[in-house]
A = this chain, B = another copy of it.
Amino acid sequence: MTEVRTKAQLAKSAAAVTNRLTTEQKNHALAVMADALQKEQAAIIDANSADINHGRSKGTSESLLDRLTLTENRIAGIAEGLRQIITLPDPVGLLLESFDRPNGIQVKKISVPLGVIGMIYEARPNVTVDAAGLCLKTGNTVVLRGGSAALETNRKIVEVLRSALQSTDMPADALQLVEDANRSSVDEMLKLNGLLDVVIPRGGASLIRNVVDNATVPVIETGAGICHTFIDESADFAMASDIAFNAKVQRPSVCNAMETLLVHEAFAANHLRELADRFLKAVVQLRGCPRTMEIVAEAQAASDADYATEYNDYILNIRVVRDLDEALSHIAQFGTMHSECIVTENEAHAARFQQEVDAAAVYHNASTRFTDGFEFGFGAEIGISTQKLHARGPMGLPALTSTKYLIHGNGQIRG
């Protein structure tokens, strides 16, 4: 049997134990895991250095190496993340509904773990720990498949965590790491119907596309975000400028950052030049529609391909639109149903925008950068769903649960 299948079966067997653990048992396991990470930080940093050196010798970019790097400080932060999860309410075992039927059967709907969760992700080793913590807290088990760039780090982290679990009621097999760095191990995970209950991809557009295109296991699609800010005619200039600037520049590499700014033509006539200067000063490369280029000579021409690209970088498309309708239709055509914003003082326009835009999070007068489990107060986040089934938007612990109907009778049969 392959490594992937073997480990998925171990995770499935463990799930029959983890789904019955009490909140206290699960929290104890998380606390032990957090302590072990810090106690073994030297060994983890050693393993991480091997990944870094290997990456550097392969010419990996410094920004990617930075995301990959673990320090004592970062490990402390990751351990602290686990301890935060302990403080969150356990979403498993809740009585969600209860009703009696005329024939006397009693029906209860309770929350249960999903079962075995497959996580497929890229270079950040913090995802290894976060995902482990979130999955175990919710009584699930997890099969982790991180990027090969972080393999030594992930291997050491999972070794430390599994070893820590030996002293707890949580089976070590609840935590599985696929070490096969070949793409075929991902492909195999995607077809493990009957072993994996869901696969959650986290990473860039091509990773997510591969999962969505090839999985026969249910998937929660996450992350890809082509987000827009629409500045309406009535927008307050200072507010609009701050929100748009924040959405693009505060952290361009993330999914809730803005890729395209839509500007009402009346607002553009008065303010687009000044707005563009602010972006140019922050070394944002501008691409624009013809009307934008008339006002902002520095902008290159934006193509439909540009409007359809998640740059995750200091690049911004700007398009001048006639009115709210044109903004809505641009978003309907190019948006990825993630986060969209209108800046306006016109309440009717805000209401229409929030009603008509089909996205996980629709903002009025606030930056799209708030689409995040922590910013929403969930205390944790396993990802941001951009699909409409099961969970949409930032996913906290409840997104990792399913339900089950328990029916009690005294001999009822169907007539």
Q: Judging by beta carbons under 8 Å apart, are A250 and B413 in contact?
A: yes
The residue on B at minimum CB distance from A114 is: B388
Chain A, 393-408, CB within 8 A of any chain B CB:
393, 402-408
**A42 contacts chain B at the CB level, 8 A cutoff:** no
Known interface pairs A358-B115, A367-B414, A370-B412. Does A390 touch B390 (Cβ–Cβ under 8 Å)? yes
Give, as a whole number of angstroms, the nearest-CB distance from A199 to chain B. 11
User: Quick one: given A390-B390, A407-B362, are A99 and B377 in contact (CB under 8 Å)?
Assistant: yes
Q: A363 at interface (Cβ–Cβ under 8 A)?
A: yes
Assess the A365–B246 pair: CB atoms within 8 A: no
Q: A388-B197, A392-B403, A404-B360 are in contact. Are A412 and B366 (CB under 8 A)?
A: yes
Q: Do the beta carbons of A101 and B355 come within 8 Å of each other?
A: no
- Of the residues B193, B242, B369, contact of A411 by C-beta under 8 Å: B242
Q: Chain B: which residue is nearest A100 at the CB level?
A: B377
Q: Is the CB of B212 within 8 A of A356?
A: no
B361 lies within 8 A of A388 (CB): no
A90 to chain B, nearest CB (A): 16
Check if A107 is an interface residue, CB within 8 A of chain B.
yes
- Please determine whether B239 and A411 come into contact, CB atoms closer than 8 angstroms: yes
Question: How many residues of chain A are within 8 Å of chain B by beta carbon?
Answer: 69
Whether a CB of chain B sits under 8 angstroms from the CB of A205 is no
The chain B residue with its CB closest to the CB of A250 is B414
Q: Are A354 and B409 in contact (CB under 8 A)?
A: no
Question: Using Cβ atoms and an 8 Å threshold, which residues of chain B touch A3?
Answer: none
Is the CB–CB distance between A414 and B246 below 8 Å? Answer: yes
B389 near A390: Cβ-Cβ < 8 Å: yes
Interface centre among A220, A221, A402, by most chain B C-beta atoms within 10 angstroms, is A402
Q: Which of A's residues lie within 8 Å of B, judged by CB?
A: 16, 20, 99, 101, 105, 107, 112, 114-115, 193, 197-198, 212-213, 216, 218-221, 236, 238-239, 242-243, 245-247, 250-251, 332, 350, 354-356, 358-367, 369-371, 375-377, 387-390, 392-393, 402-414
The 5 closest A-B pairs by CB, nearest first: A366-B409, A246-B413, A388-B402, A369-B414, A239-B411
